[in-house]
Amino acid sequence: MKKNILLKIKYDGTHFAGLQIQPRQRTVQGEIEKVLSKIAGEEIRIEPTSRTDSGVHAICQCVTFQWDVNLPTEKLKYVLNNCFSKRQNRFRILSDIEILSAEEVPEDFHARFSATGKTYRYIIHNAKEYDIYRRNYVYEVKEDLDFQSMKKACSYFIGEHDFKSFESSGSNPRETTVRTVTDMRIERVDEDIIIQVTGNKFLYNMVRIMVGTLVEVGMGRKKPEDIKEIIQAKNRTAAGHTAPPQGLYLLEIYY
């Protein structure tokens, strides 16, 4: 009987060609499977909750996998983190992947299918000067953004809607584009505008298109009330631009 294991992981998406494994590219899935397979002595495949694009980060991503390796699961976190980071002189060179926890879960638990919802965070740095040291971690917007308009616009997203306007064109055909946004918050912290969206499931690029549209509201190119019509249009061209990947963080997954 194989053990079913849930890993919670954090990563910096900057130097990954996304989460999903791809030939000849460095991916989060590829790096984790390589190490797990080495420990197991056989090929191990993991199932993530959410595919994230190149440049997108995860403060907490979940993956499940099965194996029968005789290693106490509570030690797996340390073993894996040791494999990812290197020592150089007296210092540990920290990796861009960090295992937050490893635990055994019931055999019917699945990182993706068992998830009931998740929260994404998006960080906009709204300042006159860009911050070179955060260029891979925020969306730099130099134009003045009207925070109150953006806040008002957020309220129109909450609830069950057909979010077809907020899906990248060319997405795989799917049963429905109806999704439920259960919570959406926006706050200003110094020069940052931080947006958090919670929902059951998300369409491809949905959060990034929502944020791009909010930025256009903040710039005065769209009105907060326009969000209602954009949703009704069910057409990608009605919404704003797709905000860049580096401001997006997968924050939490609910089971």
Site residues, its own copies (CB under 8 A): 10-12, 57, 90-91, 94, 96, 98, 130, 132-133, 135, 137, 140, 241, 244
Burial of 72 (0-12, 13-18, 19+ CB in 10 A): exposed
Minimum Å gap between C-beta 84 and its own copies is 11
- Residue 12 annotated in active site: no
Minimum Å gap between C-beta 248 and its own copies is 13
Handedness of CA 242, 248, 251, 255 (dihedral sign): positive
For 106, the token pair is: 């019931």
Q: Name the residue type at position 181.
A: V
63: phi then psi, degrees, rounded to nearest 5? -140, 145
Minimum Å gap between C-beta 66 and its own copies is 27
Q: Which of 12, 53, 183, 226 is catalytic?
A: 53
Q: 130 vs 254, which CB is nearer to its own copies? A: 130
Helix (H) or strand (E) holding 189: strand 178-189
Q: 137 vs 147, which CB is nearer to its own copies? A: 137
For 250, the token pair is: 């997968």
**Selection from 191, 171, 190 nearest residue 179 by Cα:** 171
Minimum Å gap between C-beta 130 and its own copies is 6
167: phi then psi, degrees, rounded to nearest 5? -125, 135
Contact 141, 192 (CB under 8 A): no
As annotated, the active-site residues are 53
